[in-house]
Structure 1
């Protein structure tokens, strides 16, 4: 699976730990930054990962900031993207199984490294098989309606 990962400066160390974990799982990883603890605005990274998923350059994405909230909001602004904040394995599974979320987000100031690895594993080990399809389709339909109104 081709996975994009990105963080702001608050999530840098957790991102690096997750990258190593993913490499051990033999996934292809694309790092969208940041590359140090120097200040980076989380929307910039979130938009890049969301765009790559929208363009089908990635299968899934993982975004990390201080709380995971900012990157979830930013990625979710990109048309067609469903980003889910996950700090437990059940939510990570349901993000994919019930919501077809292409991106999960986490907060480095909220979750520890070992639990974050379990969350990532839970998210990547399941594939959407149409669960809650009616609800997901309502979200997609509403987004298209809004985008048409804006044109």
Structure 2
């Protein structure tokens, strides 16, 4: 199965633990990048850790969670190897894979419950990149910022 990295901040520690166990139950190899408990931490540190794991090939996909999902998704997306989508429902998670070739999803522990988070995760992992008309757009995501004029 797929090697999946997972990370959170303190606000989403419990959700991270649950999602890691769910992933293991589905047969995935989980790389838990922390934190180890719910003590206060800064989400950028763990977002960057996960982004590095994707970039250096230690994981194929990633899951990050913080209170809202917003801050940690911004942290992950600062790395050019990552395309992190903030999702709150399974359809958004599927589209993140199909249209954007997202390799990481972010979710907000204070915004969605654990059952919805698992449904999003399942949809994300089942999805495949459609390529075709979406490929050129995804290629632009990896280009230097503002390098191309809008079409």
* TM-score > 0.5, shorter chain as reference: yes
Structure 1 counterpart of 2:135: 133
Q: Answer whether contact 1:79 1:143 (CA < 8 A) is retained.
A: no
Q: Which runs of 4+ in 1 moved over 2 A?
A: 141-146
Q: Answer whether contact 1:7 1:33 (CA < 8 A) is retained.
A: yes
Change (3 A) 1:77 1:136: same
TM-score with structure 2 setting the length:
0.92
TM-score with structure 1 setting the length:
0.92
Q: How many angstroms does 1:6 deviate by?
A: 0.5
Structure 2 counterpart of 1:149: none
Structure 2 counterpart of 1:121: 122
Q: How many angstroms does 1:139 deviate by?
A: 1.8
Q: Answer whether contact 2:10 2:38 (CA < 8 A) is retained.
A: yes
Secondary structure of the 2:4 match is: strand
Q: Answer whether contact 2:8 2:43 (CA < 8 A) is retained.
A: yes
Aligned length: 146
Structure 2 counterpart of 1:12: 13
Name the Cα RMSD after superposition.
1.5
Gaps of 5+ in 2: none
In 2, the alpha carbon distance for the partners of 1:40 and 1:10 equals: 9
Structure 2 counterpart of 1:142: 144
